[in-house]
Chain A
Amino acid sequence: MLFNTLQYALFLPIVFALFWLSPQKWRVWILLSASYIFYMTWKPIFILLILGLTLGNYYLGFAVHKSEKHKKRWLTLAIVLNLGTLAYFKYAYFLCETTNQCLQPLGLPPASLPFKIILPLGISFFVFEFIHYVVDVYRGHQPIKSFPAFALFASFFPTQIAGPIKRFQDFIPQFLAPAKLTINQFDTAISLILLGLFKKVLIADNLSFFVQGGFSQPQLFSGLDLWIFAYAFAFQIYFDFSGYTDIARGSANLFGYKVPVNFNLPYLASNISDFWRRWHISLSTWLRDYLFIPLGGSRLSKWLNYRNLIITMTLGGLWHGAAMHYLIWGLYQGILLVAHKEFQAFKETQTWLKNAFESQIGKVVSIVLTFHVVCIGWVFFRAETNTLALQMLSKMLTLAPTIEQAAGQTKDVAMLLPTINYPLIYPSVFLLLPLLALAHIAMGYINKTDLIERTPKFAKIAWCCAMIFVVLVFSPDKSPRFIYFQF
């Protein structure tokens, strides 16, 4: 069930009404049942997977907690169970293909899987939540006693499919305190849902049709066009995922629960390290706490620290999808982080450079530069293969003309396409992308100044009314799935 569908528009009010009309003791069960129904609307059989992992991790959590001698063994077993499940469903094909590519030069016959594997929705998210749980129990946190509360932690429908990745220490106490709904809370929740839908249907979905064209057929476009596609994708993925997160947060708020914020205006980041503190925050903090730090973090020597960064980001890239281009994207992020650390160290030794970057102009330049390196990364992320990504990047770096421009005026092609003088839907993109960038800056200002809190009621009413109108009118007939659903 997608958030931007009529199904969800019926499902959410029904669960909301049942939840608040029921006595407190039933509420967890109502949410748990709703969450399982939500999951089963996709493929009912996979309820067994989420139930099985919930039961396994619930008991393994206790085993890790109680055992004194074999604590580590139980933890290892829990991690193997979770990562093994993820590897089977998500990476089996990838491993098989990679093995075949390695075996091919040796003349060995290619291996194939004897069965078809369907990737269960949200598996990357709930598996990471389970790993966080058992690791934290191993580190000394108390396990969750209530099974329904534990089951709901992993299956809570607003965050079930694409996060944010929750921490049980923040989430479980909210179940224990009796939930209360205030008008303010209700207003904030619905506003968040409307804002999320606005981001998804008006911006991300409409950009997606445009982006799809450029990334699937880069050979048809000029280098400048491809830069525009890369910018457009940068905004598409941001508005798609942050829109999803807003709907998830709003839906959770309707039941009195708070889930973590996942984005903090990432395109205003002044360097790549700052970007990762603002982008998909729940994932980057998870990677830091459960991968980077266990690897030794930054306490080791400089080169081991860099190794850890590259391993963490490469695996983080692979978490997004079982494909080489995600791996390359992750590796690219790791290299950028290392390069940033080196640059920081160098900058500290050069006063003029430090002063230049700390000036107002320097800050703006940093933001623009960071945005562009992130956009280059998005090319690897979005392109279907590394070959296509490299093809796009080589054209982007040379600002190569289109086939028609290159061919010039011949009797067969006979097409001249001066991109700037005679664009098609580019003018709207030329206008839209700067507007989105400005919106980004404006949101930063609004957040800083608590402008929303101080807005008069009539303005809020008008804003909400406009949101309802926009969502009803502009949602495309064929709304693409949220990008992060595939992970």
Chain B
Amino acid sequence: MTAEKDKPKSLPAKLLSSYVVCAALLFVGLEAIGSALNTYSPQTMALSPYKSANRSWVWWNVRDFSRLRAAPDIVLLGSSLMMAPLHGGDAVHLNSAQNVPLHHKSQLLEDLLKEKFDRSYHTFAFALGGEMVSDAWAISDTLLKGNRKPKVIIYGVAPRDFMDSALPSAASTEIYKYMSRIGDLSAVDKDAYSSFWQQGENALSKISFTYKHRPDFLYIQHRWAKELFRKLLGYKELELVNSPYHVRKQAFSELPEDNGPGSLFVDPPGPAQEPYEANLDEYRFRYRKVNLKQFNTQLSFLERLLVLSEKENIRVVLVNMPLTEDNINLMPPGFYQNYLNKVTALTTSHKALLLNLNDPKIFPQKYFTDSVHLNARGGEHFFQVLADRLKADPETAAIISQAGVEREIDSDNAGAEMTPEISKGKDPGSAKMQPKLTRAILEALPKSATVQDIIRLAGPHHKDIGSGIHILTYPLADGSWTLVGTPDMKSILYIHYQLIEPKSGFEK
């Protein structure tokens, strides 16, 4: 017995006597089980890329795109340079504030095209802040194919989309990360992950089930945590988005993107000239060094996008976005011309259309809100110019007019089509109501006032246009409107006033 005990252990026996080695083996085993279950019985794991712990800008777009009943006729791609005119243009056109997370189309462009081609169109916008060319390609490759493909892609590009010092690699943007959860982008891994270590991390995510599904586990953890907090603390609303946008933007910029309906609005401009903010320091940083590798990689993604669109028979209209001269002067010498030459050459070789709208005569400084972004009136002007140019190009005009022929739908219903669940909610006060409230009454309310106090004063609300929280609307005696934000139909979070009847993001 003693001799047996003293006998030196074999290496495997020695290793198995280590609890760390056993734990590693157990972990590998669990990984294999998880992987097998996800492959052969996906309903058991119920992991879905559409479930996300944080709702980034791209998450909202993908969610609403996946709810479309039919493919849109035109898809708009681009960075915040396209996003600004999109929301600003519609804010002017509709004379109402645009709810950014929910507003994914250009009503202005639809109406302009309807006017020019006498057809109704559906647009969908994947214009997202910080979108690089690689992101635009990832969106196209993942979503704009097969029965979801549009007839036309209008893609607004600018030099920053090809070379940004603030960006370590193509795969490091939120958009790319999210799209790689939805589609298989592994064919371009070599270009998307620039450093050896990033490629290593990507390889790890392919080997390890756990590492690959980190966002899913985070989602599960968030859901459980929220449930726990609800039970323990009684809170109903635990979303990050309930914090005022300016607090999040200023104080929690390092946190993952997380937005909710109503977290950001683009308002129609007032009668005065819109303010201009010089943001040259930001762009000095972005352009600070010529990264030819990044530039060429992004060009290769543009070529991939053009090839893919050719294959799918989608007309691509590249729009060289307007910039201020101050901004162009920050770029390294010769960079802008080189960018334009390369983009022109690619567009020509792939039979796409390039519209160069970077012309200070068409877009003088009064149309800019900073050195790169168009203001609301600039946005309106941008789409007017764009619609004219689309009509002026015979090939594009022919495709657009054919798109209209195939399907004529009243575009006013597009929002409802995208988000059918809006019709489920019943608004107690949607029937005609007599305005009883005035601004003076509301302003005289004590700080401790509750929603019940307002109901006592004015009866039930007209509509509830909120999604993450309740946003109750009341007509005022002077013809204007008030919005009462409340998380629980008791405490009042805010009271806003506006001149026109408020609508939910779904209704716009």
Q: Is A345 an interface residue (CB 8 A)?
A: no
In the bound complex, what is the Cα–Cα distance between A272 and B20 (angstroms)?
38
Q: Is A430 an interface residue (CB 8 A)?
A: yes
A458 to chain B, nearest CB (A): 9
Q: Is A220 an interface residue (CB 8 A)?
A: yes
Using known A-B contacts A415-B493, A417-B244, A461-B23, determine if residue A6 contacts B201 with beta carbons closer than 8 Å. yes
B360 to chain A, nearest CB (A): 34
Within 8 A of B (CB), among A173-187: 183, 186-187
In the bound complex, what is the Cα–Cα distance between A191 and B24 (angstroms)?
12
Q: Which of A307-315, A370-378, A464-472 contacts B (4 or more CB under 8 A)?
A: A464-472
What B residues does A457 contact at CB under 8 A? 19, 22
CB distance B252 to A210 under 8 Å?
Answer: yes
What A residues does B431 contact at CB under 8 A? none
In the bound complex, what is the Cα–Cα distance between A17 and B491 (angstroms)?
63
B27: contacting residue among A7, A191, A430, A468, CB under 8 A = A468
Q: Is B197 an interface residue (CB 8 A)?
A: yes
What A residues does B232 contact at CB under 8 A? 431
A404 to chain B, nearest CB (A): 7
B196 to chain A, nearest CB (A): 9
Question: Which of B237, B242, B243, B445 is most buried by chain A, counting CB atoms within 10 A of its CB?
Answer: B243
Within 8 A of A (CB), among B160-211: 197, 200-201, 204, 208, 210-211
Using known A-B contacts A465-B26, A468-B24, determine if residue A422 contacts B251 with beta carbons closer than 8 Å. no
Q: Is B492 an interface residue (CB 8 A)?
A: yes
Q: Is B247 an interface residue (CB 8 A)?
A: yes
Q: Is B18 an interface residue (CB 8 A)?
A: yes
Q: Is A340 an interface residue (CB 8 A)?
A: no
What B residues does A444 contact at CB under 8 A? none
CB distance B254 to A425 under 8 Å?
Answer: no
CB distance B26 to A427 under 8 Å?
Answer: no
Per-position binary interface string of chain B over residues 440-453, scored 1 when its CB falls under 8 Å from any chain A CB and 0 otherwise: 00010101000000
In the bound complex, what is the Cα–Cα distance between A335 and B228 (angstroms)?
43
Q: Is A409 an interface residue (CB 8 A)?
A: yes
What B residues does A221 contact at CB under 8 A? 251
Question: Which of A191, A210, A461 is most buried by chain B, counting CB atoms within 10 A of its CB?
Answer: A461
Q: Is A22 an interface residue (CB 8 A)?
A: no
Residue of A nearest to B220 (CB): A473
A118 to chain B, nearest CB (A): 18
CB distance A473 to B229 under 8 Å?
Answer: no
- In this complex, the interface size class of chain A, counting residues with CB under 8 Å from chain B, is 35 or more
Per-position binary interface string of chain A over residues 316-351, scored 1 when its CB falls under 8 Å from any chain B CB and 0 otherwise: 000000000000000000000000000000000000
Q: Is B250 an interface residue (CB 8 A)?
A: yes
A217: contacting residue among B240, B250, B491, CB under 8 A = B250
Q: Which of B72-80, B329-337, B341-349, B494-502 contacts A (4 or more CB under 8 A)?
A: B494-502
Using known A-B contacts A6-B201, A416-B447, determine if residue A428 contacts B229 with beta carbons closer than 8 Å. yes
B251: contacting residue among A213, A415, A418, A430, CB under 8 A = A213
CB distance A465 to B218 under 8 Å?
Answer: no
Residue of A nearest to B232 (CB): A431
What A residues does B218 contact at CB under 8 A? 473-474
In the bound complex, what is the Cα–Cα distance between A280 and B301 (angstroms)?
51
Could you count the A-B residue pairs with CB atoms below 8 Å apart for me: how many are there? Answer: 128
In the bound complex, what is the Cα–Cα distance between A417 and B26 (angstroms)?
48
Per-position binary interface string of chain A over residues 448-487, scored 1 when its CB falls under 8 Å from any chain B CB and 0 otherwise: 0000000001001111110011001110001000000000
Per-position binary interface string of chain B over residues 211-224, scored 1 when its CB falls under 8 Å from any chain A CB and 0 otherwise: 10010011001000
Using known A-B contacts A457-B19, A468-B23, A472-B210, determine if residue A415 contacts B494 with beta carbons closer than 8 Å. yes
Q: Is A359 an interface residue (CB 8 A)?
A: no
Q: Is A61 an interface residue (CB 8 A)?
A: no
In the bound complex, what is the Cα–Cα distance between A266 and B232 (angstroms)?
29
In the bound complex, what is the Cα–Cα distance between A5 and B497 (angstroms)?
51
Within 8 A of A (CB), among B21-50: 22-24, 26-27, 30
CB distance A409 to B17 under 8 Å?
Answer: no
CB distance B225 to A464 under 8 Å?
Answer: no
A191: contacting residue among B20, B197, B247, B487, CB under 8 A = B20
Question: Which of B250, B251, B447, B497 is most buried by chain A, counting CB atoms within 10 A of its CB?
Answer: B251
What B residues does A191 contact at CB under 8 A? 20
CB distance B233 to A424 under 8 Å?
Answer: no
In the bound complex, what is the Cα–Cα distance between A427 and B234 (angstroms)?
10
In the bound complex, what is the Cα–Cα distance between A333 and B95 (angstroms)?
59
Chain B interface main SS type: helix
Using known A-B contacts A416-B493, A465-B27, determine if residue A187 contacts B250 with beta carbons closer than 8 Å. no
Q: Is A212 an interface residue (CB 8 A)?
A: yes
Within 8 A of A (CB), among B229-267: 229, 232-233, 235, 237-240, 242-244, 246-247, 250-252, 254-255
Using known A-B contacts A6-B197, A411-B497, A468-B24, determine if residue A478 contacts B254 with beta carbons closer than 8 Å. yes
B202 to chain A, nearest CB (A): 11
B235: contacting residue among A415, A427, A469, CB under 8 A = A427
CB distance B18 to A465 under 8 Å?
Answer: no
CB distance B214 to A472 under 8 Å?
Answer: yes
B473 to chain A, nearest CB (A): 15
Q: Is A421 an interface residue (CB 8 A)?
A: yes
What A residues does B242 contact at CB under 8 A? 422, 424
Q: Is A98 an interface residue (CB 8 A)?
A: no
A6: contacting residue among B19, B200, B238, B252, CB under 8 A = B200
A416 to chain B, nearest CB (A): 6
CB distance B251 to A472 under 8 Å?
Answer: no
What B residues does A431 contact at CB under 8 A? 228-229, 232-233
In the bound complex, what is the Cα–Cα distance between A404 and B494 (angstroms)?
10
What B residues does A465 contact at CB under 8 A? 23, 26-27, 30
B435 to chain A, nearest CB (A): 18
Per-position binary interface string of chain A over residues 101-139, scored 1 when its CB falls under 8 Å from any chain B CB and 0 otherwise: 000000000000000000000000000000000000000
A20 to chain B, nearest CB (A): 13
Using known A-B contacts A422-B237, A473-B210, determine if residue A428 contacts B225 with beta carbons closer than 8 Å. yes
What A residues does B22 contact at CB under 8 A? 457, 461
CB distance B235 to A409 under 8 Å?
Answer: no
CB distance B254 to A220 under 8 Å?
Answer: no
CB distance B247 to A416 under 8 Å?
Answer: no
CB distance A473 to B214 under 8 Å?
Answer: yes
Q: Is A216 an interface residue (CB 8 A)?
A: yes
What A residues does B254 contact at CB under 8 A? 208-209, 212-213, 478
Q: Is A243 an interface residue (CB 8 A)?
A: no
CB distance B238 to A427 under 8 Å?
Answer: yes
Question: Which of A186, A209, A464 is most buried by chain B, counting CB atoms within 10 A of its CB?
Answer: A464
In the bound complex, what is the Cα–Cα distance between A373 and B497 (angstroms)?
46
Q: Is A408 an interface residue (CB 8 A)?
A: yes
Q: Is B424 an interface residue (CB 8 A)?
A: no
What B residues does A462 contact at CB under 8 A? 23, 26
What A residues does B445 contact at CB under 8 A? 409
Q: Which residues of B are interface residues toward A (Cβ below 8 A)? A: 14, 17-20, 22-24, 26-27, 30, 197, 200-201, 204, 208, 210-211, 214, 217-218, 221, 225, 228-229, 232-233, 235, 237-240, 242-244, 246-247, 250-252, 254-255, 443, 445, 447, 487, 491-497
Give me the 8 closest cross-chain CB pairs, A-B, nearest first.
A213-B251, A464-B23, A424-B243, A460-B19, A217-B251, A190-B20, A465-B23, A213-B252
5 inter-chain pairs at a CB distance below 8 angstroms, sorted by A residue, are A416-B493, A428-B225, A460-B23, A465-B27, A468-B24
